[in-house]
Amino acid sequence: MSRTVTGTGATPLSDVGTVRWYRPDESLPETTDAGTPEEERANFEDAKETAREEIEAERERTRDLVGEDEAGVFDAHLQFLADPQIEASVEDGIDDGLAATAAVREAFADPITQFESMDGMMAERADDLRDVRNRLVRILTGSERIDLSALPAGTILLAERLTPSDTAQLDPSRVSGFATVEGGRTSHAAIFARSLGIPAVVGAGAGIEDIQEGTEVVIDGNAGEVIVDPDEAVRADAASGRDVEIHTDAVETTDGVSIEVAANVGTPAEIESAVEHGADGIGLFRTEFLFLNRGSPPSEDEQYEAIAETLSAFPDGRVVVRTLDIGGDKPIPYLDQAPEENPFLGERGIRRSLDSDADLFRTQLRALMRAAASEHGDGLSVMFPLVSTVDELDRALEAVDEVAADLEEADVEWARPEFGVMIETPSAVFMAEELATRVDFFSIGTNDLTQYVMATSRENDRISYLHDPRHPAVLRAIHRIVQVGHEHDCWVGMCGEMAGDPSLLKLLVGLGLDELSMSAITIPDVKAGVAATSQADAATLASDALAATTISDITQLLNQ
C-alpha cells in the first residue's frame, strides 16, 4: 500500500525512481593499524594533499553549476584542512603512537562538539568539519568513495542530509530526485536542486528513515511529498515529467496588472538558463562570483565586459546588478576579513564597500556606469546590499557622483543607471520613506530580512520554524515597503527565495510587488501563476494575511 511522507518541496518537479540510501558516516572504518610515526605523518600529509585537490575540484564544479555563493562553502573546508591547531593536534596524536586515521578522528572531535553547541551559522560549521574529517578518514583508510556522480539512472537518493560536497557531485541525468531527513528551502541541497532541476524534498523528517533500498518512490517537489510504493496513476503522472511551457512574453494578472518575472544569477550558466526559462530580465546579479575563485579582484574592464554581456542577453529587459556583497557567509580569501564572532551582524555588504573595500567599490561603480552607456545599457539598474542607514545610502550615492565626475573629466563614455536599495534590515524598513526619496527602486531580500526581523539564523535547521518569510511580522514589513515605495514612485521587487515559492505567489501579487526574481527553474510556473491570478482576489488574501497573528493562520489562509 502506498504511503506519503511530507516535507518541504525544494524544486517544483516530480519524478519516480528507486531508492538508494546515502549514509557516508556509517560506511567508514573506525581506524587502521598504526605504522611508525614517520609513516603516519607522511600518510597524513598525502591525505591532506589529496583532500585539497578533491575540494578544489568540487569548488570549481559547484561554481560552474550552481554559483559562487554556494561554491564559497568549499573555502571554509580548505581553511579547516589547513587549520594549524587541528594539524598540530593530529601530529600530537601520531607522536603518541596513533595511526593517522585515529589521530584525525581525535583531533576533529573537540572542534566538532564545540561548534555543535553553538547557534546559527556556527552550528553549520560542525557539518563542514565533519565533511572534512570524513574526507580525510576515507582517503586514509583507502575506502571507496560512494560516487554520487555515477549513480544508476533512475536513482532517488535518500540521506540524513546532503553536504555541499555531496550535492556538488549529483548528476541530474542520473538522479531522478532526492529527499533528505533534515534541511529547509534555503539549505545548500535545496538551492542546488533548483539550479540543476532535480526534483527534491528536504526536511522530510524521520518518516523517510525506514524506506528500504530498492523501494520505488515518487518525489513530488511541488507538494513536498515522498510517496512510497506509489499506485500506478501517481507513478505514471510523476514519470510523465513536465512539459514546461516557457513564457517568453511579459505576463499580467487576469485583471491586467503587469508583474515582471526575473532571474537571480551569479554565473554565466545561470544567465543562459535565465534566458532559456523565459526570464523578463535579471532581478539580482550577484557580483560576488566575479571576485571569487581567483587570486585578486577582477579589473574594471573584466567587470564591464561581464555586465555588458548580461545586458545583451536581455536587450529588452532590465538587469539589476547588486554591488559587491561579501562578509557574513560570503568570504573572499584574498580580501582582508578579520574573523568575527557574529559575522552576519558584522562587516558585510555596503558596510565594507564604504570602508575597507572602498577602492573596489569605486572600480565596480566605474565599470557599472560605463556599462550603462553600452549598447543595451539603458536596461541597467544598480542596487546596494544590506543598507541599514540613510547615511550609508547617501555615502554610496556620493561615491557614484564622484566616480561620474572622474569619468567625465577623463572623457570616458558613461551614463547614470537607476539606483535602488535592497531591503534586508529592519532599520531599512523603518527608514523606508527617507530611503525612497533618494532612489528609483527597492528590492526586498527576504533571506536576510527574515533572519533579521525574526532574529533567526538562515542556516540553523533547529530554529527554521522562525526563519519563515510567511510570518506576519515579515509580511507586514514587506507590506510597509511596497506601500512606501509606491508612495514615492519607486518600483518594488523581491529577490529573496520567497519570490520563487509558487505557494506564496498569490500572496505576493496581493501585497503589490511589481517584480519577482528567483532561480530560473521556477520562472515558467510563476509566470503561469501570475497569468491565472486576479490581483483583486490576491489583494483580499493579502489583507487577510496582514491581519493574521500566527504562521498557522497564514497557512490556513493559503490553503483555503
Nearer to ligand PEP, 123 or 284 (CB): 284
Applying CB under 5 A, does 69 fall inside the site for Mg ion? no
At its nearest, how many Å lie between ligand PEP and the CB of residue 264?
Answer: 7
Applying CB under 5 A, does 448 fall inside the site for Mg ion? yes
Residue 17's nearest CA partner among 226, 243, 242, 233 is 226
The C-alpha cell at 325 is 556583497
Stretch that binds ligand PEP, among 13-21, 118-126, 153-161, 439-447 (CB under 6 A): 439-447
Strands (E) across 359-490 are located at 380-384, 418-423, 441-444
Nearer to Mg ion, 445 or 485 (CB): 445
Active site residue 490: no
At its nearest, how many Å lie between ligand PEP and the CB of residue 348?
Answer: 9
Q: Return the residue of 55, 73, 170, 495 that touches ligand PEP, per CB under 6 A.
A: 495
CB of 179 within 8 A of CB of 201?
yes
Q: Which of Mg ion, ligand PEP, none interacts with 15 (beta carbon under 5 to 8 A by kind)?
A: none
* Distance in angstroms (rounded) separating the CA atoms of residues 436 and 487: 9
Phi-psi region of 482 (alpha: psi -120 to 50; beta: other; left: phi over 0): alpha
* Distance in angstroms (rounded) separating the CA atoms of residues 511 and 503: 14
User: With the C-alpha atoms ordered 165, 166, 169, 171, is the resulting torsion angle positive or negative?
Assistant: negative
* Distance in angstroms (rounded) separating the CA atoms of residues 195 and 320: 20
At its nearest, how many Å lie between ligand PEP and the CB of residue 292?
Answer: 13
Q: Which of Mg ion, ligand PEP, none interacts with 367 (beta carbon under 5 to 8 A by kind)?
A: none
Applying CB under 5 A, does 283 fall inside the site for Mg ion? no
Applying CB under 5 A, does 445 fall inside the site for Mg ion? yes
Burial of 346 (0-12, 13-18, 19+ CB in 10 A): middle
Active site residue 277: no
Q: Which of Mg ion, ligand PEP, none interacts with 50 (beta carbon under 5 to 8 A by kind)?
A: none
Q: Return the residue of 445, 469, 524, 529 that touches ligand PEP, per CB under 6 A.
A: 445
At its nearest, how many Å lie between Mg ion and the CB of residue 447?
Answer: 5
User: With the C-alpha atoms ordered 482, 484, 486, 490, is the resulting torsion angle positive or negative?
Assistant: negative
The C-alpha cell at 434 is 527617507
Nearer to ligand PEP, 51 or 516 (CB): 516
Q: Return the residue of 11, 101, 363, 446 that touches ligand PEP, per CB under 6 A.
A: 446
Residues 496-535 that bind ligand PEP (CB under 6 A): 496
Applying CB under 6 A, does 493 fall inside the site for ligand PEP? no
* Distance in angstroms (rounded) separating the CA atoms of residues 486 and 169: 45
* Distance in angstroms (rounded) separating the CA atoms of residues 150 and 169: 9
Applying CB under 6 A, does 448 fall inside the site for ligand PEP? yes
Residues 253-292 that bind ligand PEP (CB under 6 A): 284, 286
C-alpha pair distances (Å), 208 with each of 133, 201, 212, 439: 26, 11, 9, 49
Residues 42-101 that bind ligand PEP (CB under 6 A): none
- Please report, as ranges, the residues that interact with ligand PEP according to CB under 6 A: 284, 286, 325, 424, 445-448, 495-496
- Please report, as ranges, the residues that interact with Mg ion according to CB under 5 A: 445, 448
Kindly list the catalytic residues: 188, 495
